[in-house]
Amino acid sequence: MSKRKLVETGMHPNNPYFNNPPDFVALAQLYPSLAPFVAVKSSESSKGTSGSGTRGIINFQDPSALRELTYCLLKKDFSLDLEIPLDSLCPPIPNRLNYICWIEDLLDIDSTKDIHGIDIGTGASCIYPLLGCSRNMHWKMVATDIDDRSISFADSNVKRNHLDNAIRIIKNNSTDIFLALLFKDPEQRYDFCMCNPPFYKDEQDIQDSLEGKEGQASAVCNGTINEMITAGGETQFVKQMVDESIVHGQRIRWYTSMLGKRSSVDTVIAYLKEKKILNYTLTTFRQGRTRRWAIAWSHGNAHASRASMQHISNKMIKLTPPKTILSFQCKGSTVKTILRSIENLLDGLLIQHRSGATDSETDSTMVRVLHCTAERNTWSRAARRALARESAEKGGEKSGSKTAKEVADSALAPVVLEFDIRVSLTFQSTCPEVQSSSTSKRAATPAQASHMIEFTWTIGEDRALFESCFLHFRNKFQQDHTTMQEQAP
Ligand SMILES: C[S@@+](CC[C@H](N)C(=O)[O-])C[C@H]1O[C@@H](n2cnc3c(N)ncnc32)[C@H](O)[C@@H]1O
């Protein structure tokens, strides 16, 4: 999946509704309770049809229709049974799934490990914990809210779906967003928190939105006062999350929140920068005409995964943090040869490496990933001088048989730097490695192939260290690789 396609559709590719909009007519046949809300129209397009040239239409301004649709989608696609009052916020499922899919990307870890998350302001539906835990059997979530009625509905929604072993509901009676009870156990750590805060600061703010000034949704937005309004609006809410995150630090790995207004994204990012929190990332969620944004920040030294950064539209690029992905191209070779050069160079620099799983987000099958860990800075000029000195001194002693690693360990201070190297084909049409016999019209040579070599910074606080490692590596690779090609028969 190319980045352009992702940004155009706006929907996450792991979202079950990506390129697969619900067929309202078929859904109403399955669940007769939806039938009164579905009008059938003849259709030219085949998308969202029941295949007979007709198309089901739902009035998205009708709260009863929206709620029934939400109930049916949850039943059919997630085996979830929901009950929410008609006057409360009805969660649009594809949009809520976009946020869950992005969190899954952000965590980017072994799915067999228990994952602990918090949903701030879970609402009557308890939608994020229900979706998150039904998609990911290793997720455990705590869900909070300030509203008694929402707490009571959320609680019964969890029990009705037999997820009370995975989801715990807590009423927040305090003025803090992260109530003390979340951290009562001093050992407790969370992998993430998520939040869909009330967007508006007052009734006028809602009115402005309805008049199309900002953040207007394409469906009716029913909600109680608590769901819609908070003092200072969403920016104040998320700023308070940022302030409290400074206190709780790494007890939560990724702090995240959705934002309903484009302007709030700039305000929150400016606030993060003011607080010197530069380890952050952002994304856009789109469902129909409705756009939402989400931001994540961390007080740890692990950076956002490559996958979680794939959905940033070009318009948002100026808001992104300094790059954690650096790349260069290599023309005229094969993945195998490139990998051999890379591994030789890494060995020479005493950088540990192991093969990683390839990700599925690329159209090319020829993608290789190496996870790399540098324990010492062996590439700077100062490091090379120190190593030479140490070798010379040790060479003079009787224990001159030290390994290169032992020499480096005694001469250089430890560093924390981890990164992934990803080698991928950047165009396929003429490359022999990806041609199937059916598509191969003319013979291609390795000289026509072009590969992208990407460094993704995964762990570390010292940006200069990462950048210097990449630059040193790139220069050496280009020198060695040219020499190797020249020597090739
Ligand atoms: C926009 S609704 C989101 C509901 C649900 N998560 C969803 O996405 O459909 C915001 C929720 O935040 C709750 N809320 C407001 N302030 C809160 C706070 N300080 N702590 C926890 N929840 C809060 C509201 O009661 C409301 O249920």
State pLDDT tens for residues 112-164.
789 999 999 999 999 999 999 999 999 999 999 999 999 999 999 999 999 99
Residue to substitute in 120, 125, 179, 243 for testing ligand 1 pocket (most ligand atoms within 8 angstroms of CB):
120
Q: Helix (H) and strand (E) counts for the chain?
A: 14, 14
Give the H or E element holding residue 214: none
* Residue whose CB lies within 8 A of the most ligand 1 atoms, among 67, 89, 195, 259, for a mutation test: 89
Is 20 annotated in some ligand binding site? no
Mean pLDDT of 461-475: 96
**Mean pLDDT value across the chain:** 86
What would the pLDDT profile of 47-59 be if each residue is shown by its tens digit?
Answer: 555 556 778 999 9
Mean pLDDT throughout 100-121?
90
Residue 19's pLDDT band, with cuts at 50, 70 and 90, is confident
Q: What is the mean pLDDT of residues 316-328?
A: 88
Q: Give the pair of three-digit tokens for residue 129.
A: 């914990």
Amino acid residing at 135: R
Q: Any known ligand binding at 96?
A: yes
Ligand 1: distance of its center to the CA of 48 in Å? 32
Confidence band, pLDDT 50/70/90 cuts, at residue 219: low
Ligand 1, residues at Cβ distance < 6 Å: 89, 91, 120-123, 125, 127-128, 144-147, 150, 172, 177, 196-198, 226-227, 230
Q: Which atom of ligand 1 is nearest to the CA of 179?
A: 20
**Is the C-alpha dihedral spanning 467, 469, 470, 472 positive or negative?**
positive
pLDDT band at 289 (very low <50, low <70, confident <90, very high): confident
Domains and CATH numbers, the chain: 84-319 (3.40.50.150), 325-377+415-487 (3.30.310), 382-411 (no CATH)
The percent of the chain in helix, strand and coil, each rounded to the nearest 5, is 40, 20, 40
Q: Which of 99, 147, 292 gets mutated to test ligand 1 (max ligand atoms within 8 A of its CB)? A: 147
Q: Name the packing angle between helices 335-348 and 463-487 (round to 10°).
A: 120
Q: Whose CA is nearest to atom 11 of ligand 1?
A: 121
Higher pLDDT, 50 or 337: 337
% of the chain exceeding 90 in pLDDT: 60
**196 annotated among ligand-binding-site residues:** yes
Task: Please give the average per-residue pLDDT across 418-444, as a whole number.
Answer: 58
Q: What spacing in Å lies between the alpha carbon of 272 and ligand 1's midpoint?
A: 22
Lowest average pLDDT, out of 103-107, 109-113, 139-143, 460-464, goes to: 109-113
Residue 432, pLDDT score: 41
- How many degrees, rounded to 5, is the angle at CA 372 between CA 366 and CA 376? 155
pLDDT at 397 exceeding the cut of 60:
no
**Which candidate, 435, 309, 439, 310, places its Cα nearest to that of 364?**
435
pLDDT exceeds 70 at position 46: no
The response to whether 384 counts as a known ligand-binding position is: no
What percent of the chain has pLDDT above 70?
84
- Give pLDDT, residue 221: 67
State the complex-level ipTM: 0.99
